[in-house]
Amino acid sequence: MSPLLLSCYTATTTLGHGLDATLAGLRDGRSGLKPCDFETVDLDTWIGEVTAVDAQKLPKSLTRYDCRNNRLAQLALEQDGFASRVRAAIARYGKTRVGIFLGTSTAGILQTEQAYRRRDPVSGALPEDFIYRTTHNAFSVAEFTRDYFALEGPALAISTACSSSAKVFAAAARQLALGTIDAAIVGGVDSLCLTTLHGFASLQLTSSAPCRPYDATRNGISVGEGAAFALLERLPADTPSGAVLLLGTGESSDAYHMSSPHPEGLGARLAMEAALRSAGLQTGDIDYINLHGTATPANDAAEGKAVAALFGNRVPCSSIKGATGHTLGAAGAVEAIVCALALTHDLLPGSPNTETPDPAIPIDYLLKSRPAKVRHALTNSFGFGGSNCSLVFGVAP
């Protein structure tokens, strides 16, 4: 593919609001996880909650979108001057020429979960104030963002579970290549809800301790929430040296099981190979791999096999989910931004909570953050239903 410019980007997770907090958290190896005290959930697990989400007030004209997911979206859009950079792009290109591509797994389903607790005891009806379209529906975060910026161009949500907001980069890149748009708001937003906390618990995939990706004793995930956005544009003639570029995207399917990865990591390997091919790079060109690294025994083993088969143990790898929790449909975009920070701040992020890397996975797994020159970074995102996506980022020479 033709490289694309990330002309602006931002991330908000339990590590903090915006890039400075995220970078400081990664450098310090800080974990934002805490014992689960979310809503009325009573589960023995840890979560990554973003602070001050419910303090967000949506603009009066957009109150129909009010739900935890869209509050988190707005909170994140307003960090690092992202919203004003978007508005400048809209002024430059026109309101039909900036597309929206956002990933989410559960969008505002919390709103429906709560509405079900307020059903009319006689009729069973949901409360009057519950609006399905602009809160629960997968598209609600994309429609909210489109209305937030008064855009009139293409928009979509991608919902492929935990690969959602990696795949948005591929979808946006295709439309930029076609010329249907001149810029794309890409990103992912997923917020805590009962469906994912109880659902992952029912699959026995949540840990009762803070998650420990790739640790020999890992035993499950910590569910987190987060939002990350990037503005993608075709490369201008005067691309500044050091600017972050999207170089390649690779997508594949496992064709194996709805909730278990292909045991040999075959789908994962196909996605990484496709991303390298798309970027025109070899395995030896990659300086850092941001692993999907959820901390379930099966996921890390499968991904580890695929990474070891392709890269051996030559490339430093880490997972940040011990810091942020698994932000599910937002994880792809959050970790794309982590790659951007690695590339622009000479940082190899470590893996908080992980103490003893699994000796059965022969890769160079980083426990502590350390400085290093990173020219090309690859990030993996794999979701339920066997949906895989890998992305390659680099910097302009």
Partner 1 sequence: MTPTPLTAWIEGIGLLAPGLPDWASACTILRGAAPYTAAPSILPVPTILPPAERRRASRLVKLTLAIGLETAANAGADVSQLATVFAASGADGHNCHALCEQLASADRQVSPTRFHNSVHNAGAGYWGIATQSMAPSQVIGAFDAGFGAGLLDTLGQVIVDRQATMLVAYDSEYPEPLFSKRDTPDCAGLGLLLTPEKTGRSVARITVTPSTDAAEKMADAGLENLRTSIPALRCLPLLQKLARGEYGPVCIDYLPPMQLCIDLQPC
Contact positions vs partner 1 (CB under 8 A): 1, 96, 105, 109, 112-113, 116-117, 119, 124-126, 130-133, 137-140, 142-143, 146, 152-161, 167, 171, 173-175, 177-180, 194-195, 198-200, 202-203, 234, 251-259, 266-267, 270, 274, 383-387
- Is residue 114 within a helix (H) or strand (E), and if so which, with residue range? helix 109-116
What's the distance, CA 309 to chain centroid? 25
Q: Smallest Cα–Cα separation from 6: which of 228, 297, 194?
A: 228
Q: Could you list the active site residues?
A: 162, 292, 326
Q: Among 393, 391, 80, 378, which residue's Cα sits nearest to residue 242?
A: 393
Residue 338 Cα distances to 33, 288, 299, 332, 344, angstroms: 18, 11, 21, 10, 10
Q: Which residues contact 63 (CB under 8 A, 6 or more apart)?
A: none
Nearer to partner 1, 88 or 126 (CB): 126
Structural contact between residues 155 and 142, judged by C-beta atoms closer than 8 angstroms: yes
CB of 254 to partner 1, least distance (A): 7
Quote the least distance from Cβ 198 to partner 1, whole Å.
Answer: 5
Whole-number Å distance between alpha carbons of 357 and 301: 11
Count CA atoms within 13 Å of residue 8 on its CB side. 19
CB of 88 to partner 1, least distance (A): 20
Assess contact for 191 and 226: CB atoms under 8 A. Answer: no
Toward partner 1, which CB reaches closer, 21 or 378?
Answer: 378
Using DSSP, state whether 249 is helix, strand or coil.
strand
Using the 8-state DSSP alphabet, how is residue 133 labeled?
Answer: I
Name the residue nearer to partner 1 (CB basis): 56 or 96. 96
| Shortest separation between residue 40's beta carbon and partner 1, angstroms | 9
By C-beta, is 31 or 327 nearer to partner 1? Answer: 327
Report the nearest approach of partner 1 to the CB of residue 204 (Å). Answer: 8
Residue 215, φ and ψ in degrees, nearest 5: -75, 150
CB 326 within 8 A of CB 223: yes
Q: Closest separation between CB of residue 251 and partner 1, Å?
A: 4
Pick the closer one to partner 1 by CB: 262 or 376: 262
Token reading at 174: 């295709």
Which residue's CB is nearer to partner 1, number 211 or number 271? 271
Tokens of 39: 């809503």
Q: Which tokens sit at 173?
A: 């890149």
